Amino acid sequence: MDAITKAKKAAGEKAAALVQPGMLVGLGTGSTAYWAIEKIGQMVKEGLNIQAVATSIASEKQALALGIPITSFSEIQQLDLDIDGADEISEEGQLIKGGGGSLLREKIVALASRHRVIVGDERKYVKTLGKFPLPIEVVPFGWELVFKTLQALQGHPTLRTKDDQPYITDNSNYIIDCSFGVIREPEQLHQQLKTLTGVVETGLFLNLKPTVIIAYENGDVKTI
């Protein structure tokens, strides 16, 4: 296992240790959240009694394979703890998410959780957001119009693709990745993007006050 994978595993497992019996837990998506889910699966096998809501079909499949009981918002109102990764984590705890394409479900789950834990390796921790392209989930109908507006806003948009076709999210939408440069006013940008008809959600996760667990290649793990 390389040093970055080891760091992701360490961060994910440290977050999993925060799960307590009886909790309702949000399961994130991506290669770091993966390790938290693996650890929670192990804890469930050892007798931990929890229920979880997954932020993607992939994470739900992983959880079910591990025997983690899955519930949904038709059964519950609120989660106790959400554990998820991020693409960028600013020093203020503001996030860019959606590199793995699950931003909409991830935001719904994060907002439904009383506590949020964000796990990442040291490369994710930045002074200011904006180096990682900002994912924006859009409805397929008329996406070209949103794309042109994003061009006009200097977002340098790119339609995300997979196998030369538009990438399709778990919600049957598309993703447009944008580069606005350094994002100095994330709230303003998020609000501006949300008002565009056709935009479903942005990858800016703001003011969620997460506990941040950063793992370093040298083996250190810091909770911020």
Ligand X SMILES: O=C(CO)[C@H](O)[C@H](O)COP(=O)(O)O
Residue set of the binding site: 29-32, 84-87, 97-100, 124
Phi/psi of residue 37, each to 5°?
-65, -40
Q: Which residues are within 8 A (CB) of 193 and not within 5 positions of it... i.e. 6 or more apart?
A: 136, 199, 202, 204
Which residue, chain included where needed, has tokens 């390389």?
2
Count of residues in contact with ligand X, rule CB under 6 A: 18
Instruction: Specify whether the CB–CB gap between 117 and 210 falls below 8 A.
Output: yes
Site for ligand X in 163-192 (CB under 6 A): none
Per CB under 6 A, 82 contacts ligand X: no
Phi/psi of residue 184, each to 5°?
-85, -30
CB of 192 to ligand X, least distance (A): 21
Per CB under 6 A, 93 contacts ligand X: no
Indicate which single residue of 4, 6, 18, 31 sits in contact with ligand X (rule: CB under 6 A). 31
CB of 21 to ligand X, least distance (A): 26
CB of 224 to ligand X, least distance (A): 17
Per CB under 6 A, 202 contacts ligand X: no
Q: Which of 13, 60, 88, 106 is catalytic?
A: 106
In the annotation, is 106 catalytic? yes
Rounded CA-CA distance 55/106 in Å is 5
Token reading at 27: 């399961």
Pick between residue 26 and residue 85 the one whose CB is nearest to ligand X. 85
Per CB under 6 A, 106 contacts ligand X: yes
Per CB under 6 A, 12 contacts ligand X: no
Per CB under 6 A, 99 contacts ligand X: yes
Per CB under 6 A, 116 contacts ligand X: no
Pick between residue 48 and residue 169 the one whose CB is nearest to ligand X. 169
Q: Which residues are within 8 A (CB) of 138 and not within 5 positions of it... i.e. 6 or more apart?
A: 146, 173, 174, 175, 176, 198, 199, 200
Pick between residue 121 and residue 150 the one whose CB is nearest to ligand X. 121
Instruction: Specify whether the CB–CB gap between 152 and 87 falls below 8 A.
Output: no
Per CB under 6 A, 97 contacts ligand X: yes
Rounded CA-CA distance 45/37 in Å is 12
Number of C-beta neighbours around residue 151 at 10 A:
12
Q: Which residues are catalytic?
A: 106
Interface ranges with ligand X (CB under 6 A): 28-33, 84-87, 97-103, 106
